[in-house]
Amino acid sequence: MELTRTEITERLREILLAADDRNRDVVAACTEDSRLVADLGFTSVSMLYMVIAIEEEFNIRFENVGVADFNTLGEVIDYIEAQLK
């Protein structure tokens, strides 16, 4: 499955909104440089929730990575992109 970075970002936004629509504005404005904890307000559980949702959405597996290994949304997109190739 070939997906562009923009498409991956869009799908990630959908996942984030489905998970928690309380910070809709922040998610809508997020970019690849957005920091997961500082900007998007992620906790360890929301990281884990997102990883589970990404695995199901993109049909990939997060191997040997912990939730603290990702700092920005761009790093998550990089990982997804690498797994999809």
The residues that touch other proteins, with contacts defined as CB under 8 A, are 18-22, 43-46, 48-49, 51-53, 55, 61-69
Closer to other proteins at the Cβ: 6 or 66?
A: 66
Closer to other proteins at the Cβ: 3 or 67?
A: 67
Query: Residue 20: is it exposed, middle or buried by C-beta count within 10 angstroms (0-12/13-18/19+)?
Result: middle
Long-range contacts for 17-21 (Cβ within 8 Å, ≥24 apart)? 18/53, 19/46, 19/49, 19/50, 19/53, 20/46
Q: How far is the CB of 26 from other proteins (least distance, A)?
A: 14
Closer to other proteins at the Cβ: 59 or 66?
A: 66
